[in-house]
């Protein structure tokens, strides 16, 4: 339907106000607590993409735990096993012969990386603020919070009748952590200020500064290659200050601003020749001339430029007035829609703070890590976790946050060419299931987990998704060689399965799962074939759009047609492997649901075009179960949203938001902390409200009965579309849609369809009654 019901040029409705005039709750933008953090997973994160801090909010012994995103162990290295190339044909023969134990043993001996592990992300150290001769009595009027909209962590308390306030920000413009302390009485601030690095080096204090000059740590026989620098400058108003035992002793100040800069000598994954000491001096000098108020205002404005693009409003729940840690617990007894909105906003906040243009991508812990030996080395796990980190980026209007990942894939394509050539004798490039700061691309951790060659291919689908949302021709031209190289590798290395005649990967595995006992090695797991269908389709389409490489595009389409198809097993499930091994796999509730990639994040399987396969995917989900590790729970929720079963997705979200999978500071509990669960949960909420593919837009496709009223403003869809939605009593009330490039769209809601034509930059408004 087109015509009178559609209003061109409409102004999007205000956040928090439904079209029928019914107000929802105010925006959920604040985490708050009545006590200091006792554990790291209770502290509050600030970050500017490159540097971050965890703020504990303690009164007499405050701690800011610090990170810098290029501070990893080791240095540039080539981990390809020199024996891999010659051993590879024999491993393939053993796999095709069904001799999986023998194949896996040989792969462990000859194919795996040297060293077998990669480099871990590191802890920079702590900034410690200690009140000398602190009174033993408990402070009063205590409260700490994190303002997600203003990107500031604040601690307030009263001690000995004096009100104190501490504010912490991470400035993306000035590249410093800035802290301001004020007191309600002049001369009431006494502090010992210390920098305690977690890396080897020398710390010195003089005048108003504390400087650290050091190096990173070696790991796995890879020598330390980075120089590391930190600089603290203390700027008090009133009082006296003197260096003492490597720290600064401040006495009798009225207020104080503390600036902290951190850097390493990392320039890129091959170049460690930077000058970190000069960087931190320059940053501190520039920030010192500004003042905290201006630093804060500029940082808040830059943060809000991204953060305020989207607003989600849901009804307030019974926990709305509770401190955040208590609210997480209360949500298990009575559903709190506002907690879902807070979780959504927090996920966007975390992505902005851990992945900005010029920074490294968000790793397994985003940017926040308090260990030099973190779980899973806090690397980039590219068999799901890194990709999941960026699931909310496009749909929640944070495309700039994807740029660090794009940069990483460009670098990985270069190191991956060496791995493709030396290990496989192939053209193009390859990356396996993990990488690190040094863009290592050989298979790690043992063949049980690491011998999976499709990590780079999956990353290329993220590059394509970034294009699909923004439709920037210059960007597509720049990434086409990367996509082409990833596809070329598989043109060279795909093997013909002697049993079926289909093209399959060999050797490979279905990520981190086993099919018999501890055997994972196989040929052509479903996920590989699904990812390659997307990679070949998208690379060929990119060539068509750019008007280049026609012969290669034709070759990709021909090769795609020979890939092994999805298969339905004896129990009605989507098979995870070429053979029907699902029922005999040792872990029926395995955290990975790799074979369901085709349902989400891909759309190869969907309810409209492949209903039989969608039913099989649903059966697989039922067999796996709803509750798993944090990120795996979030993936399950997204899959149920893709099946348009909102109440089921919502049940899983309630588990994800609960104390088993969410720490008091709302970090995701894998456990331990992994940030991908936060980002996967954020994406679920958006996908429950709107889904877009090709020219089709599904409105409220998985709206749960627990969220009867609400509105969402600023969500994005492929084709440069931005959408605002409002609903009341479970029914769509209004929708506004605009696109920078225009085009025809089919809008669907509750089984009804409206076809519209968008003019570039002109909004169209539709009411729910237009669908009747």
**Helical packing angle, 473-493 and 403-419, nearest 10°:** 30
How much is the mean pLDDT over the chain? Answer: 95
Separation CA 563–CA 528 (nearest Å): 10
CB 561 within 8 A of CB 536: no
Calculate what percentage of the chain has a pLDDT beyond 90: 92
The confidence score (pLDDT) of residue 194 equals 98
The confidence score (pLDDT) of residue 160 equals 85
* Segment 622-636 mean pLDDT: 96
pLDDT greater than 80 at residue 144: yes
Q: Which two tokens stand for residue 365?
A: 């812990």
The confidence score (pLDDT) of residue 99 equals 98
Lowest mean pLDDT among 84-88, 157-161, 266-270, 272-276: 157-161
* Segment 264-283 mean pLDDT: 98
678-736 pLDDT per residue, tens: 999 999 999 999 999 989 999 999 999 999 999 999 999 999 999 999 999 999 999 99
From residue 700, alpha-carbon distances to 524, 621, 747, 772 in Å are 36, 22, 11, 16
* Segment 552-576 mean pLDDT: 98
From residue 689, alpha-carbon distances to 231, 618, 678 in Å are 46, 20, 18
Q: Which two tokens stand for residue 45?
A: 């994160």
pLDDT greater than 60 at residue 594: yes
Question: b/e map of 379-390 (b: 16 or more CB within 10 Å)?
Answer: bbbbbbbbbbbb
* Segment 753-759 mean pLDDT: 95
* Segment 8-35 mean pLDDT: 54
pLDDT greater than 80 at residue 6: no
Q: For the whole model, what pTM was predicted?
A: 0.96
From residue 731, alpha-carbon distances to 670, 703, 727 in Å are 35, 9, 5
| Strand ranges, E, within 356-397 | 380-381
* Segment 23-34 mean pLDDT: 75
pLDDT greater than 80 at residue 114: yes
368-395 pLDDT per residue, tens: 999 999 999 999 999 999 999 999 999 9
pLDDT greater than 50 at residue 11: no
Q: Which of the four pLDDT bands, split at 50, 70 and 90, describes residue 316?
A: confident
Dihedral, CA atoms, 337, 343, 345, 347, nearest 10 degrees? Answer: -150
Separation CA 276–CA 658 (nearest Å): 42
Residue-range domains of the chain with CATH: 7-25+705-771 (2.60.40.1180), 32-72+120-308 (2.70.98.50), 84-114+371-583 (1.50.10.10)
pLDDT greater than 70 at residue 18: no
- How many whole angstroms from its chain centre is CA 154? 25
Q: Which of the four pLDDT bands, split at 50, 70 and 90, describes residue 207?
A: very high
The confidence score (pLDDT) of residue 583 equals 87
The confidence score (pLDDT) of residue 17 equals 35
539-551 pLDDT per residue, tens: 999 999 999 999 9
* Segment 632-638 mean pLDDT: 98
């Amino acid at each position: 339907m087109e015509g009178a019901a559609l209003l061109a040029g409409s102004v999007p409705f205000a956040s928090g106000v439904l079209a029928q005039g019914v107000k929802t709750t105010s925006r959920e933008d604040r985490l708050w607590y009545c006590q200091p953090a006792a554990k790291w997973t209770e502290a509050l994160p600030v970050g500017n993409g490159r540097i971050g801090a965890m703020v504990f909010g303690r009164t007499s012994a405050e701690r800011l735990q610090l990170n810098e995103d290029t501070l990893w162990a080791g240095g540039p290295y080539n981990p390809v096993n020199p024996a891999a190339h010659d051993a590879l044909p024999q491993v393939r023969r053993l796999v095709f012969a069904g001799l999986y134990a023998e194949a896996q043993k040989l792969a462990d001996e000859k194919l795996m990386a040297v060293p077998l592990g990669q480099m871990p992300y590191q802890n920079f150290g702590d900034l410690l603020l200690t009140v000398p001769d602190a009174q033993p009595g408990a402070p009063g009027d205590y409260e700490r919070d994190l303002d997600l909209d203003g990107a500031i962590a604040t601690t307030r308390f009263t001690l000995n009748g004096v009100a104190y306030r501490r504010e912490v920000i991470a400035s993306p413009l000035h590249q410093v952590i800035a802290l301001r302390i004020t007191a309600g009485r002049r001369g009431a601030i006494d502090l010992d200020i210390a920098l305690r690095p977690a890396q080897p080096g020398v710390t010195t204090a003089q005048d108003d500064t504390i400087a650290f000059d050091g190096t990173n740590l070696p790991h796995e026989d890879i020598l330390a290659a980075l120089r590391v620098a930190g600089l603290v400058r203390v700027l008090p108003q009133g009082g006296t200050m003197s260096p003492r035992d490597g720290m600064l002793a401040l006495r009798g100040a009225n207020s104080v601003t503390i600036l902290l800069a951190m850097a390493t000598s990392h320039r890129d994954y091959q170049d460690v020749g930077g000058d970190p000491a000069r960087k931190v001096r320059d940053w501190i000098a520039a920030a010192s001339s500004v003042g905290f108020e201006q630093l804060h205002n500029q940082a808040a404005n830059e943060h809000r430029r991204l953060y305020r693009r989207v607003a989600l409003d849901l009804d307030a729940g019974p926990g709305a007035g509770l401190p955040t840690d208590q609210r997480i617990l209360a949500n298990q007894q009575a559903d709190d829609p506002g907690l879902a909105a807070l979780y959504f906003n927090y996920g966007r906040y975390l992505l902005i703070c851990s992945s900005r243009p010029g920074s490294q991508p968000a790793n397994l812990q985003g940017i926040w890590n308090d260990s030099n030996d973190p779980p899973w080395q806090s690397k980039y796990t590219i068999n799901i976790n890194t990709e999941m980190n960026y699931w909310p980026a496009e749909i929640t209007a944070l495309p700039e946050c994807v740029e660090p990942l794009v940069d990483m894939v460009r670098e990985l394509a270069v190191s991956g060419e060496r791995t493709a050539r030396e290990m496989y004798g192939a053209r193009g490039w390859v990356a396996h299931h993990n990488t690190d700061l040094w863009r290592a691309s050989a298979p790690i951790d043992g063949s049980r987990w690491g011998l999976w060659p499709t990590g780079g291919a999956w990353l290329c689908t993220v590059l394509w998704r970034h294009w699909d949302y923004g439709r920037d021709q210059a960007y597509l031209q720049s990434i086409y060689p990367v996509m082409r190289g990833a596809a070329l590798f598989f043109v060279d290395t795909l093997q013909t399965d002697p049993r079926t005649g289909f093209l399959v990967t060999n050797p490979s595995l279905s990520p981190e799962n086993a099919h018999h006992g501890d055997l994972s090695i196989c040929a052509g797991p479903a996920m590989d074939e699904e990812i390659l269908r997307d990679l070949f389709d998208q690379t060929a389409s990119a060539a068509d759009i750019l008007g280049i490489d026609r012969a290669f595009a034709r070759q990709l389409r021909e090769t795609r047609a020979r890939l092994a198809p999805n298969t339905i097993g004896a129990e009605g499930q989507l098979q995870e492997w070429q053979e029907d091994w699902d029922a005999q796999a040792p872990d029926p509730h395995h955290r990975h649901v790799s074979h369901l990639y085709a349902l989400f994040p891909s759309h190869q399987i969907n309810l409209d075009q492949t209903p039989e396969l969608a039913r099989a995917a649903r059966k697989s989900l039922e067999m796996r179960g709803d509750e798993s590790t944090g990120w795996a729970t979030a993936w399950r929720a997204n899959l149920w949203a893709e099946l348009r079963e909102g109440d089921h997705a919502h049940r899983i979200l309630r588990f994800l938001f609960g104390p088993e999978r969410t720490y008091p500071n709302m970090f995701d509990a894998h456990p331990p902390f992994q940030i991908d669960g936060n980002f996967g949960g954020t994406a679920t909420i958006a996908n429950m409200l709107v889904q877009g593919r090709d020219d089709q837009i599904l409105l409220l496709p998985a709206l749960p009965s627990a969220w009867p009223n609400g509105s969402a403003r600023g969500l994005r869809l492929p084709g440069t579309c931005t959408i605002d939605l409002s609903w009341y009593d479970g029914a769509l009330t209004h929708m506004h849609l605009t696109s920078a490039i225009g085009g025809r769209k089919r809008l669907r809601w509750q089984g009804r369809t409206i076809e519209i034509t968008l003019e570039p930059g002109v909004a169209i408004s539709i009411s729910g009654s237009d669908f009747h």
